[in-house]
Structure 1
């Protein structure tokens, strides 16, 4: 087999959460380009329908599902949609997540737990639902999208940073539980120029972020998608429980604060 062929996902079926835009959309399209059929999930149906249409234009099957990952009943329906349409699940990308900065003195227990549910518990539950089907298919791959916030110590990120740090460790632990049939890895993005970031990014903020990044530029969703494809494909068959940091070489806080 040629080395480029090991990056193919022909005959595979994936679920990608947060697939309506940004990193999730880029990963869904990358998987489709590599040959996979994809269930595209996000809260806004029109966005995932647009992603699904682009996948179909690539010649692959796609299903758009409106799903709030914090609603565990909806996670079950998401898995059902994958099995109904593709009759198998071989790949899961837990990409949905996020939250803004928080003040630890005014963050209520309910708010803190909601951040954990959005970024951590939902990924754990969806993985629990998908892994049995991956085993039935003879193997599978789970990819978690964590963040540089998991390892940086910075002000106002106690909720989000804690949730992503926990997701990072969950990745390592589940890799031990599910090997050798199912591999579990993660990508840890640095500052990625998504529509969400662009909407709040001032010129001074961007200049500061680029200055603190050795590569002197912000990342793009396709940078994360490329790493995600590697970790999903047979090219990484001997890799599990690992976190790939795609962050422009940053080794300290990239957000001024």
Structure 2
């Protein structure tokens, strides 16, 4: 196999959560371009239908599934839909998740618990659901999208950072449990120019963030998709239980303080 042939996903089937926009959309498109059949899942069906249609127009195979990862039945249905549509499931990207800043004296424990469920428990359950199909297929690859916030020490981010730190460590622990049948890795993005970030961006904020980033620019969704493609393909066949930090070289938060 040549070097470039190692970056193929031909004959694979991938389920990508949060695939309607941003990082999830970019990963779904990248996997399809590499030859995978893709199940695009997100809460807003119209968003993932647009992504799936884009894949099909480009000659790939894709279906769209409405899935709120907070709902156990919908998680189960998404995995079942992938197997029903394409006969197997070999790849899972746990991308759905998120959370903003918080005051520890104002955020209720119920809201904190909900954030852990959204970012960590949902991923854990999807891995449980997907793993038997991957073992049956004779190959398996799982990527969890965490965050640079998981390792930054900063004020007012206890909810999000704790959840992503838990997801990061969960990835490492489960990689040991499922090896050698399934490889599990994580990607920790820094600030990526998604629609969500663009909504709060000003010229002043962007200048500060770029100045605080060693590579002097913010990331793009394709930067994360490229890392996800590497971790999904035979190019990374000897990598499991690791976290790839795609953050422009930042070792602390680049947001204005």
- TM-score tier by shorter-chain length is over 0.9
The C-alpha deviation readout for 1:29-76, integer Å capped at 9, x for no partner, is 000000000000001111000000111122121110111000011000
* Structure 2 unaligned regions, length at least 5: none
The C-alpha deviation readout for 1:144-203, integer Å capped at 9, x for no partner, is 000000000111110000000000000000000000010000110000001111011112
Matched with 1:14 is 14
Q: How far 1:204 sits from its partner (Å)?
A: 1.5
Matched with 1:28 is 28
Matched with 1:44 is 44
* Structure 1 unaligned regions, length at least 5: none
Structure 1 runs of 4+ with >2 Å offset: none
Matched with 1:234 is 234
The C-alpha deviation readout for 1:114-144, integer Å capped at 9, x for no partner, is 1111111100110110011000000110000
Distance across 1 between alignment mates of 2:56 and 2:184: 27
Matched with 1:141 is 141
Distance across 1 between alignment mates of 2:91 and 2:215: 31
For the aligned residues, what is the CA RMSD? 0.6
Are positions 1:220 and 2:220 aligned together? yes
Distance across 2 between alignment mates of 1:52 and 1:77: 18
| 1:104-115 to 2 correspondences below 5 Å | 104-115=104-115
| 1:56-67 to 2 correspondences below 5 Å | 56-67=56-67
Q: SS of the counterpart of 1:159?
A: helix
Distance across 1 between alignment mates of 2:210 and 2:124: 33
Distance across 1 between alignment mates of 2:132 and 2:41: 20
Matched with 1:126 is 126
Matched with 1:245 is 245
Q: How far 1:19 sits from its partner (Å)?
A: 0.2
Q: SS of the counterpart of 2:205?
A: helix
Matched with 1:92 is 92
Distance across 1 between alignment mates of 2:37 and 2:17: 14
Distance across 1 between alignment mates of 2:185 and 2:54: 26
Q: SS of the counterpart of 1:41?
A: strand
Are positions 1:4 and 2:4 aligned together? yes
How many residues get paired?
A: 257
Q: SS of the counterpart of 2:159?
A: helix
Provide TM-score, normalisation by structure 1.
Answer: 0.99
Query: 202-211 or 128-137: which moved more?
Result: 202-211
Distance across 2 between alignment mates of 1:115 and 1:41: 19
Distance across 1 between alignment mates of 2:249 and 2:27: 21
Distance across 1 between alignment mates of 2:196 and 2:159: 19
